[in-house]
Amino acid sequence: MPSSVVFWSVAAVLLFWGVGAYNRLMRLRAEANSAFAALEGELSKQVALVHECLPPPDATQPAALGGDTGFWSGLHGAAAQFAASLAVARARPLEPQGIAALSAAQDVLAMAWERAERDDAHDLAGPRLPETLTARRAQIVMQTHAAIEHFDQAVARYNNGISQFPAVLLAWLFGFKPGRGVRTSANAVVA
């Protein structure tokens, strides 16, 4: 009789621990997904900025912000690639391949913007981009950096949670896979 009480007591403790650990892992995953939703809002502003403020790529008309239609087409192409990568990452925010593609597309878009802001690309008429557009982009980049930091921290907490023993056993049993932050790669930056 005493051994069955011990057995059921141990079983109850393990059951309650398992439920608590599983709920913790689910909470950590939900926090990371929620952080990505906030990040997605900030990243979407970058795409919207390209579509709202810059002329559409049209080879038949001279660009309103400069005569180099190939340049504007490149910026719009980078924004389209970024939007497609963002859509893939939105579906599975903790999928490492999707976040890696998003990070790479973000780098391409940042390089396209840097090309627009370089002084060697314009003549004496002034900068290629209006100062209001440059200031607006700088504000979006600053907000995006904060959202990236929040998401990367949430992913790090999630990864830490699923790698700790004995929770790693539940993570393996229920298929929790490690995620990837946006800045996990060597030089993934926004600006």
Q: Where are the domains of the chain?
A: 2-174
E strands in the chain: none
HSE-up of 147 (CA within 13 Å, CB side)? 20
Residue 185's pLDDT is 45
This model's pTM is above 0.75: yes
CB of 157 closer than 8 Å to CB of 31: yes
Give per-residue pLDDT as tens, 61-87.
444 445 555 667 888 899 999 999 999
Determine the average pLDDT of the residues in 90-113.
93
End-to-end alpha-carbon separation of the chain, Å? Answer: 69
Per residue, the 3-state secondary structure of 103-117, as one string, reads: HHHHHHHHHHHHHHH
- Distance (Å, whole) CA 26 – CA 94: 13
Which residues, in sequence order, are CB contacts of 143 under 8 Å at separation 6+? Answer: 42, 45
